[in-house]
Amino acid sequence: MGLVDRLRGLLRGGVKADAVPGVVDVPEAPDDLASGAVPSRAVTSSAHSGAFDVGWMTDTGLVRDHNEDSLLVFSGQQDGDRPVPAFGIFMLADGMGGHRDGEAASSLALRVCAGQVISQVYLPTLNGGDRAANQPALADIVRDAVAHANRCVAQSYPGSGSTLTYGMLLGTRLFIGHVGDSRAYLLREGDSPKLLTQDHSFVGRLVEMGQLTLAEAAVHPQRNVLYRAIGQPEDLEVDVATCLLRSGDRLLFCSDGLWNMVDEASIWAIVDQGGSPQEICGRLVGAANDAGGYDNVTVILVDLHLE
Amino acid sequence: MTEENHNSSRDTSASTVNLQRKRGLQPTRGLSQRLRQPSPTEQNAEEGDKPADSATVTLRDAWKPPVEQEPEGSRSSSPGGDDAFAGGSLGEPDEAAHREGLLPVGVQLQNRYKILGVIGIGGMGAVYKAQDLRFPGVMRLCAVKEMICTASDPEVRQIIVRNFEREASILATLSHPAIPQVYDYFTEGSRSYLVLEFIHGKDLEARVTEAEGFFSEAQVVDWAVQLCEVLTYLHNHKPRPIIFRDLKPSNIMLDDHGRIRLVDFGIAKLFQSGEKGTMIGTEGYSPPEQYRGIAEPRGDLYALGATMHHLLSKQDPRLEPPFSFKERPIHKTNPTVSREAVEVIDKALEYDINRRWGSAEELRRGLLSVTSARGLASGRGEATSVLTDDILKPIWRFACEDEIRGSVTVTGDLVLVPSYDHNVYALDIDEGKFVWKYPSEGGVVASPCVADGMAVFGSTDRVVYSVDLNTGQLVWTASTKGRIFSSAYAHLGHFFVGSDDGNLYAIHSLTGRKAWTYASEGEIRSRPLIQDTLVLFSCQVGLVYALTLDRELRWRFRARRGILASPVTHEGLVYIGSLDWNLYALDSRSGWSAWKYRTGGAVVSTAAIADDLVFFGSADGHIYALDVADGRLVWRYQTGGQVTGSATIYNGALYIGSVDGALYSLDAQSGSLRWRYQTDGAITGAAQAVDGVVYFGSSDHYVYAIPA
């Protein structure tokens, strides 16, 4: 139904039968707009299968003996008459540190961060009521949750560290919270894939600037240096970004075990082969291992079906 | 200090170990070193990459001085005197004594230099303030730099000490007013010392941290010119050029006479050769080629450019992504900096060494050609191209009988003016001649809304009027139960307008009949907006409503105080200011604030959006430009009064009125003043610009048309 028809239908006096708080019907308004029978409430689609599908996979790789990557996926979707906006968390962390502290750090970072986001965004969304100025802004929640995780990790596993990259979906809006060199990409029909994050890698930056070749970077003494990561004892600066998503968009989250091993063109080729998000994740991890599997690899792929 | 031949070996350090002041002025950023589990390819590449047991290495952790307990008796009370110390003030003696390995106050070196306190602590040792006892009866001060050699291999130790002595010797041969004199050097056990001239003053890092506002461009250019002079001296040193390699605000002292002095020549570097693989900190000021092991004179020019960028923008590069100067142009934080100065600095900051200034002398000449450098003593005034009201003449003005508090509407060849004298006037757009007026029975604040050949406006007489645009004849009226300040919004054959009776009305444009009414919790004084089938409006109790077109409530957002501003949308966000001092960016789907920005006063001004910036005014007297996506401040501009007028964008310029009576035209990107036009009354509505002319009303009763 076109917007005009819909509006005409809706603007007809007395069209709403059920009492809605705040709505005052104006009985004297004549039905002078109606050009035909227009249902009062539009049915936007007959079948809903959720706002997004998500697949994920994490793998130790072929060389290392344990997996320091962690991931966390949360899907909050409701259907029915008046659903709350769809909510999702897509989060991964790539730990570093001696002994087994790397995986402990990445796991703790995820849990702390996701817990805070769920309690500050999703629970209030479910509980309904007015949004209010005394709630922190979403960008601040997304940022503070990472800062909180940073403090917890610095306290619990001093000397360890982790990247942390996540997407928080609320309705049609995506927020990205990010520190380190894991990545988030937006794949949109007709556009070239867009990197939503910036690697906080010192040598990576030098390569970007053309100051180092990839070969030089591979043996550079500072190649493993991140200039921002979870576990930093000082205040951590967190990158936060937001964008509006459309139906058909895809989000790819991955650790450097994917993008270091498989070049971007090959990644997009694998994604374009189609299949469910889970199947694609499996193929991406397979490609990283085929390329040597030198690192832990983690991928999360989200297919969006927004109204 | 390093001669170039010493630098030909690949320098793997990200930075020198620099002095860290005792009182935390230096925001050293810790770097995380990822300790990957070894992989076959990497293992071959490793050589000196020794695994630390900590993933995060900070300046202080990177080097731990040996524990050397000094005899208790050698501690004495803190020195008297109130001298300023190089690099910051002296720490409490107790604090200093707690530091492991530090020389306690009162210790004498070589029976000559009596330690008075610690000036700074670095990775390789401390710098002390000391008294030269060879000059009895006077307090001859000196700075004693300490280098502690921790290498256990006696041969390595010998090499390090020999290098140190050679460097000290070179330094001793230098003679330039900006380079501190060397008095002495010696070695005691594992510690080597260099005795230098003590400089009274403060370093530029302390100055930039303490400064409330920005340094003037002329001031920074003056310092940079002095630095170019000393760099020219070093780079022309015979037989080989000397590269400073570590130019940054904390290594630049400003003495009591306002002269620049270079301190902390990079002797510490020598000691780093055995420390490969230990990451200490991203410097922020170092040129990119340094990380390829290349050190040459033009690297110092980059560091000087980075230093100037920091001093002018007040953005510390160590807290920003590495090599991000291009992404952070100076004028974004400091719009007063001239384009010429920015160009000179940008050329010093080129990543490609061959695109930089060729020499310090070239850079110096570039700096001296900047306008602000010409009258160095006088400082900078306003931007030179600013037109004042002396020059700006209105094309026409028209006097109403009372204040104009709302916004004018330009439509076709008419300017519609709401006046508190009860009338809405229609004026000829070219000459401001009276065409018609419609008298209501109350003051008119609402901006006339034009659609379907009608001008629709409410009045404080509680009635919504529709007047024919051509004739000024009444078409219809619709009554409400409250005074009307809300401007109407036209959408698909209906006018949406709020009233002080708390209702939002949807009025059929052809008949004036009310299609529906929605009761809110407070007076609705702002303009509603329909975007993507959502009806957005705000009311006085501080609620923002989002309704579907069939009046179903999607969400409400409650600000802490009332809302007088009207909503504006862009890319799924609703921008609206509140009397609670914030500008909110609300997600139109959920009503959550995506971000908010707190100003220093009530935000009555309705925002305008252009080029990813959102513009608005605040009762704190400022005009703000924020990044639409994250609410970061891009610039702000101070006016002489509260800014309650709404923002208008036209051809890259922002137009906004202030209670100080002026209409301001600012460059939208930089926030620099294009012109201001002074009226005799507060300007509280929005201006509208059409065909190179900007139209607005003032509380001085006049409507103005002036060149945009």
Determine the distance from the C-alpha atom of residue B441 to the mean position of all C-alpha atoms in its chain, rounded to a whole number: 49
Query: Is 60 exceeded by the pLDDT of residue A16?
Result: no
Q: What is the mean pLDDT of residues B607-626?
A: 95
- CA A101 to chain CA mean position, Å: 25
Q: B51-60, B234-243, B362-371, B675-684: which has the minimum mean pLDDT?
A: B51-60
Mean pLDDT for B357-382 is: 72
Task: Evaluate if residue A273 carries a pLDDT over 60.
Answer: yes
Neighbours of B371 (CB within 10 A): 15
By the 10 Å C-beta count (0-12 exposed, 13-18 middle, 19+ buried), B588 is classed as: buried
Asked whether the beta carbons of B583 and B599 are under 8 A apart, the reply is: yes
User: B532: nearest CA in chain A?
Assistant: A3
Average pLDDT over residues B55-61: 28
B310, containing H or E segment:
helix B297-313
CA separation for the pair B262, B645 (Å, rounded): 50
Q: Which helix (H) or strand (E) holds B638?
A: strand B633-638
Contact A158 B548 (CB under 8 A): no
Say which residues have a Cβ less than 8 Å from residue A117's Cβ, sequence separation at least 6: A89, A141, A142, A145, A168
Identify the residue among B15, B37, B41, B598 best suited for mutation to test binding to A, counting A beta carbons within 10 A and taking the highest: B37
Query: Closest-CA residue in chain B for A42?
Result: B550
> What is residue B293's predicted lDDT score, i.e. its pLDDT?
76
d(C-alpha B602, C-alpha B605), whole Å: 9
CA triplet B308, B311, B315: central angle to 5 degrees? 110
Q: Is B514 on the interface with A (CB under 8 A)?
A: yes
Please answer yes or no on whether A121 and B35 come within 8 Å at the CB atom: no
Closest Cα in chain A to B56:
A159
CA gap A200, B31 in Å, rounded: 10
Sorting pLDDT into bands at 50, 70 and 90, what band is A306? confident
3-state secondary structure B234-276: HHCCCCCCEECCCCCHHHEEEECCCCEEECCCCHHHHHHCCCC
For B467-526, the three-class secondary structure string (H helix, E strand, C coil) is EECCCCCEEEEEECCCCCCCCCEEECCEEEEECCCCEEEEEECCCCCEEEEEECCCCCCC
Dist. CA B503–CA B516, nearest whole Å: 10
Residue B13 banded pLDDT, cuts 50, 70, 90 = very low
Name the pLDDT band for B123 (thresholds 50, 70, 90).
Answer: low
For residue range B575-616, list pLDDT tens digits in order: 999 999 999 999 999 999 999 999 999 999 999 999 899 999
Q: Are B589 and A170 inside 8 Å of each other by CB?
A: yes
Mutate to test the interface with A, among B516, B553, B573, B588 (most CBs of A within 10 A): B516
Question: Whose structure tokens read 């004179």?
Answer: B297
For residues B437 and B427, what is the distance between their CA atoms, to the nearest angstrom?
9
Query: What pLDDT sits at residue B144?
Result: 92
Residue B214: is its pLDDT beyond 80?
A: yes
Q: What band does B23 get if pLDDT is binned at 50, 70 and 90?
A: very low
pLDDT confidence of B246, banded at 50, 70, 90? confident
- Tokens 């230099």, residue located: B113
Is there a contact between B592 and A21 if contact means CB atoms under 8 Å apart? Answer: no
B158/A contact by beta carbon, under 8 A: no
Nearest chain A residue to B571 by CA distance is A244
Confidence of residue B5 (pLDDT cuts 50, 70, 90): very low
Residue with the larger pLDDT of the pair B80 and A11: A11
Hey, are the CB atoms on A173 and B282 less than 8 Å from each other? no
Cα(B412)–Cα(B390) distance, rounded to whole angstroms? 30
Please state the rounded mean pLDDT for residues A225-251: 90
For B597, nearest residue in chain A (alpha carbons): A137
**pLDDT 10s digits, A87-118:** 999 999 999 877 678 899 999 999 999 999 99
pLDDT score for A41? 41
Query: How many helices (DSSP H) and strands (DSSP E) are in chain B?
Result: 12, 45
> B12 pLDDT exceeds 80?
no
Q: How far apart are CA A96 and CA B519, in angstroms?
A: 57
B301 or B147: which carries more pLDDT confidence? B301
Across A290-294, B28-32, B503-507, B684-688, least confident range: B28-32
Instruction: Decide if A23 and B551 are in contact by the 8 Å CB cutoff.
Output: yes
Name the residue facing B516 among A26, A66, A218 (closest C-beta): A26
pLDDT at B54 over 50: no
Higher per-residue confidence, A180 vs A2: A180
Please tell me the pTM assigned to this model. 0.71
* In the predicted structure, residue B296 carries a pLDDT above the cut 90: no
Residue B510 scores a pLDDT above 80: yes
The amino acid at B596: K
Is B551 close to A20, i.e. CB distance below 8 A?
yes
Q: Which of B575, B590, B630 to mutate to test the interface with A (most CBs of A within 10 A)?
A: B590
Pairing status of strand B463-468 against strand B474-479: antiparallel
Q: What is the pLDDT of residues B148-193, one digit of tens each?
A: 887 777 887 787 777 777 778 777 888 898 988 888 988 888 888 9
Terminal-to-terminal C-alpha distance of chain A: 14
How would residue B11 be classed by pLDDT, with cut points 50, 70 and 90? Answer: very low
pLDDT tens by residue, A112-165: 999 999 999 999 999 888 889 888 999 999 999 999 999 999 999 988 899 999
Q: Is B631 on the interface with A (CB under 8 A)?
A: yes
Query: Cα separation of A186 and A253, whole Å?
Result: 9
C-alpha separations of B194 from B74, B197, B516 in Å: 22, 10, 86
- pLDDT greater at residue A283 or residue A29: A283
Would you state the pLDDT for residue B623? 95
- Contact list in A for residue B36 (CB cut-off 8 A) is 96, 224, 295
Give percent of chain A with pLDDT exceeding 90. 58
Instruction: Report the C-alpha gap between B146 and B148 in whole angstroms.
Output: 6
pLDDT tens, residue by residue, B461-502: 999 999 999 999 999 999 999 999 999 999 989 999 999 999
Sheet with A194-195: list strands edge to edge: A52-59, A297-304, A250-254, A183-187, A194-195
Query: Average per-residue pLDDT in chain B?
Result: 81
d(C-alpha B466, C-alpha A85), whole Å: 40
Residue A123's nearest CA partner among B594, B546, B592, B589 is B592
β-sheet bridge partners, residue A89: A74, A168
Residue pLDDT, tens place only, A19-59: 344 444 444 443 433 333 333 444 444 555 789 999 999 99
